[in-house]
């Protein structure tokens, strides 16, 4: 299913879409595939496959720890693409989330071709702004991939409009200022940011950074088109340690709680 199709289906169901993130290769490649498939089976509509990177400036300690474990396990960009292929085979929409340096190092055109070939739907680029993304925009357009850029509460109206204009699939709204991580309450900056984004685009707005349970998901789903959850999933696997089944069961439990939340919202 395409990213647009995910949001259309969720809208038809009268709810927000649930978007789940995990880094490829954490706890190892096979384990990350199994966890992501569990997320799909338990209610995630769209999966973000993280490409582990050695200098994750926007990631909090939870995702940094997972990415470090993946890197120490020897994960490569080819493993990320293999993960995309395996998860996309479930019928779920899959996008990659990556800092720009690994994509540039792999080769922009090659990455776009291989991502599309693996069944991926697009790429989220947290540290790439549209005015510096000409090469990626051209490659994404050539391979019919969605380009998902970020907007933040600090974005001016002009920047918000420019960023949204270059997006395809959805606009990624970061609900808090600062690095990623589960929080005890969702940001009061998210609602106004979504409202401002809606004024300049018809694309769906997904809100990320901070949601960790069904009640928070319901709160965000009340005003956003998509609820993005990352650190809370990673934390469940980290807490399970070497007990693989415990981790999968915990991920499934969290997904069901979040899926219930987006329906209540």
Burial of 61 (0-12, 13-18, 19+ CB in 10 A): exposed
CA dihedral 220, 60, 120, 153 (to 10 degrees): 50
Is residue 100 a contact partner of residue 128, using CB atoms and an 8 Å limit?
Answer: yes
Domains detected in the chain? 3-264 (3.20.20.70)
Catalytic positions, written as ranges: 48, 59
DSSP assignments along 1-57, one per residue: --HHHHHHHHHHTTSPEEEEEEETTSS-HHHHHHHHHHHHHHT-SEEEEE---S--T
Q: What confidence score (pLDDT) does residue 56 get? A: 65
- 10-residue stretch averages of pLDDT, the chain, 265 residues long: 94 98 96 98 98 79 88 95 98 96 97 98 96 97 98 94 97 71 58 95 92 94 96 95 96 98 93
Q: What confidence score (pLDDT) does residue 183 get? A: 45
Distance CA 244, CA 152 (A): 36
Is residue 230 a contact partner of residue 208, using CB atoms and an 8 Å limit?
Answer: yes
Tokens of 25: 């290769």
In degrees and rounded to multiples of 5, residue 168 shows phi and psi of -145, 140
């Amino acid at each position: 299913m395409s990213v647009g199709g995910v949001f259309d289906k969720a809208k038809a169901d009268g709810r927000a879409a649930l978007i789940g993130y995990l880094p490829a290769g954490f706890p190892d490649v096979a384990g990350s595939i199994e966890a992501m498939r569990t997320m799909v089976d338990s209610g995630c509509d769209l999966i973000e496959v993280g490409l582990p990177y050695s200098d994750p400036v926007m990631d909090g300690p939870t995702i940094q720890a997972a990415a470090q474990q993946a890197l120490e396990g020897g994960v490569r960009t080819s493993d990320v693409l293999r993960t995309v292929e395996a998860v996309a085979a479930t019928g779920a929409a899959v996008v990659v989330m990556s800092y720009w340096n690994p994509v540039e190092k792999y080769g922009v055109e090659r990455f776009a071709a291989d991502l599309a070939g693996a069944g991926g739907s697009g790429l989220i680029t947290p540290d790439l702004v549209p005015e510096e993304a000409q090469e990626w925009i051209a490659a994404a357009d050539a391979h019919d991939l969605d380009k998902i850029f970020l907007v933040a509460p600090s974005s001016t109206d002009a920047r918000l409009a420019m960023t949204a204009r270059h997006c395809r699939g959805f606009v990624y709204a970061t609900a808090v200022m600062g690095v990623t991580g589960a929080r005890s309450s969702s940001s009061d900056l998210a609602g106004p940011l979504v409202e401002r984004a809606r004024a300049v685009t018809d694309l769906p707005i997904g809100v990320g950074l901070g949601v960790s349970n069904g009640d928070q998901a319901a709160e965000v789903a009340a005003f956003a088109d998509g609820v993005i959850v990352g650190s809370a999933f990673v934390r469940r696997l980290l807490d399970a340690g070497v007990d693989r089944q415990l981790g999968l069961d915990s991920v499934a439990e969290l997904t069901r709680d979040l899926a219930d939340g987006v329906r209540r919202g």
